[in-house]
């Protein structure tokens, strides 16, 4: 007559951590009946991976057997009793894989055969099995800096054939948290270019290797870079205000070794919108302008060969073309003995000559205007006049550059035939 022993297995497990092997939840246990007459499973062996262990046992021919119970302890738990973790519902099964285990941890296992009624055989001997340690991190990693708004990341391809890609993580110098920025597929791919970074900014990088079964290694050593800074601001910008219909700008050359060119921006007001105006490679520029006394405001930047542009100066440089000479004053005119006599006073030392603007009223609606130039005195006599004809006279002063002042107010003269 077979003897049996009834006992109850624990329904809960207190959890704790040690040696990096975290405890895992277990299934609540039920009371079972042990039947010593049932065959005990005989294990052929096991294969351990990083997070899983596979077992194989000999097929049990006894028709009373309907399946198997698998028992395992939980590393890191206070209670190290083996708890039932799985039920195999076929007596023809001879394999079991325990998954989601912790890398580099030791586990104890026992197997028992069960009947449909829930009777259980004496358990197999306890097997001590260790999962494989986690795959080592990437052994070499380097970030290359001083690049325009980007960083080049290089690493040695991982030698382990289980690796199928990499996760690139980044943080800046002010952050503590690492952020995943890219996934690189393929074990042999070993480069990544990070774009859209800030100028002159410090960044830190590391890389993690990933396996086909979605495991992730510890990160590589971190590497720090600084992106290429913007060219320094342009200084000592000067502009002219005494050139006829032109403004000449000069500035201190940029000292960067990879200078490409300078950009000039222009606005008609100091606080207005500065529009891109011209690109050039020299440190002087003459702006040709068609107006006298015209003011413009300028900002100049340096651009390197990577297209990085310095900041615009906060204060614009003001320049202007030479203003018009002052208009003559005390202007008067009269007709004496059929001769027009005009007189005026010079008000500007720049004036070198004068122009008389003579307008003849040829009819009620038409007029004819001529300029009488190169008058060097402050008076003028016009003998080319006719009776019963109206004339208008205006005077402008002219400087050595040919720039004319605004005209005086017109004087209207005429005489009647007798």
In this predicted structure, what is the pLDDT of residue 22? Answer: 54
Task: Give the mean model confidence (pLDDT) for residues 283-306.
Answer: 97
pLDDT digits (tens, 9 = 90+) for 231-265: 999 999 999 999 999 999 999 999 999 999 999 99
User: Which residue reads 């028709």 in tokens?
Assistant: 63
Residue 264's nearest CA partner among 195, 317, 194 is 317
Residue 262's nearest CA partner among 309, 298, 229 is 309
Rounded to a whole number, what is the largest CA-CA distance in the chain? 169
CB 328 within 8 A of CB 344: yes
296 burial (CB, 10 Å; 0-12 / 13-18 / 19+) is buried
For residue 147, the Cα-to-chain-centroid distance in whole angstroms is 12
User: Which residue reads 């980007």 in tokens?
Assistant: 150
pLDDT over 80 (residue 31): no
Residue 306's nearest CA partner among 230, 380, 377, 396 is 230
In this predicted structure, what is the pLDDT of residue 7? Answer: 30
Report in angstroms the alpha-carbon separations of 334 from 49, 179, 376.
118, 91, 20
For residue 373, the Cα-to-chain-centroid distance in whole angstroms is 63
In this predicted structure, what is the pLDDT of residue 23? Answer: 55
CB 231 within 8 A of CB 256: yes
pLDDT over 80 (residue 146): yes
pLDDT digits (tens, 9 = 90+) for 176-213: 999 999 999 999 999 999 999 999 999 999 999 999 99
Report domain extents, the chain. 4-130, 141-226, 238-320, 329-413
Backbone angles phi, psi at 270, to 5 degrees: -65, -30
- Topology at the third CATH level for domain 329-413: Immunoglobulin-like (2.60.40)
Which CATH code fits 141-226? Answer: 2.60.40.10
The yes/no answer on whether domain 238-320 falls in CATH 3.40.50.970 is: no
Residue 243's nearest CA partner among 299, 292, 279, 297 is 292
In this predicted structure, what is the pLDDT of residue 78? Answer: 81
CA distance 404 to 357: 12
In this predicted structure, what is the pLDDT of residue 30? Answer: 60
Structure tokens belonging to residue 295: 């003011």
Task: Give the mean model confidence (pLDDT) for residues 117-138.
Answer: 96
CA distance 207 to 102: 22
CA distance 223 to 207: 10
Confidence of residue 301 (pLDDT cuts 50, 70, 90): very high
pLDDT over 60 (residue 370): yes
Backbone angles phi, psi at 293, to 5 degrees: 65, 30
pLDDT digits (tens, 9 = 90+) for 64-113: 999 999 999 998 888 889 999 999 999 999 999 999 999 999 999 999 99
For residue 362, the Cα-to-chain-centroid distance in whole angstroms is 72
Q: H/E element holding 299?
A: strand 295-304
Task: Give the mean model confidence (pLDDT) for residues 261-274.
Answer: 96
- Same fold? 141-226, 329-413: yes
In this predicted structure, what is the pLDDT of residue 15? Answer: 29
Confidence of residue 28 (pLDDT cuts 50, 70, 90): low
Percent of the chain scoring above 90 in pLDDT: 86
How high is the mean pLDDT of the chain? Answer: 92
Structure tokens belonging to residue 344: 């005026």
In this predicted structure, what is the pLDDT of residue 80? Answer: 82
- Topology at the third CATH level for domain 4-130: Immunoglobulin-like (2.60.40)
Confidence of residue 147 (pLDDT cuts 50, 70, 90): very high
pLDDT digits (tens, 9 = 90+) for 318-365: 999 999 999 999 889 999 999 999 999 999 999 999 999 999 998 888
Q: H/E element holding 86?
A: strand 83-88
Report in angstroms the alpha-carbon separations of 243 from 110, 260, 287.
101, 29, 10
């Amino acid at each position: 007559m077979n003897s049996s022993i009834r006992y109850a297995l624990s329904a809960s497990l207190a959890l704790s951590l040690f040696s990096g092997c975290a405890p895992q939840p277990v299934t609540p246990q039920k009371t079972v009946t042990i039947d010593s007459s049932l065959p005990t499973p005989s294990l052929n062996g096991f294969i351990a991976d990083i997070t899983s262990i596979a077992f194989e046992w000999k097929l049990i021919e006894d028709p009373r057997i309907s399946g198997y119970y698998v028992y395992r302890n939980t590393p890191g738990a206070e209670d190290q009793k083996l708890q039932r973790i799985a039920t195999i519902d076929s007596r023809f099964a001879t394999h079991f894989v325990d998954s989601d285990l912790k890398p580099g941890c030791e586990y104890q296992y026992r197997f028992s055969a069960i009947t449909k009624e829930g009777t259980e055989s004496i358990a197999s001997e306890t097997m001590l099995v260790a999962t494989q340690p986690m795959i080592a991190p990437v052994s070499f990693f380097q970030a290359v800096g001083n690049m325009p708004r980007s960083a080049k990341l290089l690493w040695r391809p991982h030698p382990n054939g289980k690796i199928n890609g990499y996760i690139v993580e980044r943080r800046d110098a002010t952050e503590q948290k690492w952020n995943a920025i890219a996934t690189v597929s393929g074990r042999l791919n070993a480069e990544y270019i990070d774009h859209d970074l800030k100028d002159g900014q410090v960044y830190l990088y590391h890389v993690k290797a990933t396996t086909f079964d979605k495991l992730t290694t510890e990160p590589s050593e971190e590497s720090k870079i600084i992106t290429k800074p913007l060219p320094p601001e342009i200084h000592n910008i000067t502009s002219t205000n005494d050139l006829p219909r032109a403004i000449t700008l000069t500035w201190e050359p940029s000292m960067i070794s990879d200078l490409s060119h300078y950009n000039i921006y222009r606005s008609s007001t100091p606080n207005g919108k500065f529009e891109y105006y011209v690109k050039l490679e020299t440190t002087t520029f003459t702006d040709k302008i068609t107006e006298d006394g015209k003011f413009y405001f300028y900002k100049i930047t340096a651009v390197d060969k990577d297209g990085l542009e310095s900041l615009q100066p906060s204060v614009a440089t003001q320049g202007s073309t030479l203003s018009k000479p002052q208009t003559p004053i005390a202007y008067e005119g009269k007709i004496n003995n059929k001769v027009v006599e005009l007189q005026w006073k010079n008000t500007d030392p720049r004036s070198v000559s004068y122009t008389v603007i003579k307008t003849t009223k040829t009819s009620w609606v038409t007029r004819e205007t001529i300029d009488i130039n190169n008058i060097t005195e402050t008076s003028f006599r016009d003998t080319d006049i006719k009776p019963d004809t109206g004339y208008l006279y205006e005077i402008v002063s002219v400087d050595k550059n040919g720039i004319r002042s605004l005209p005086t107010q017109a004087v209207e003269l005429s005489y009647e035939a007798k």
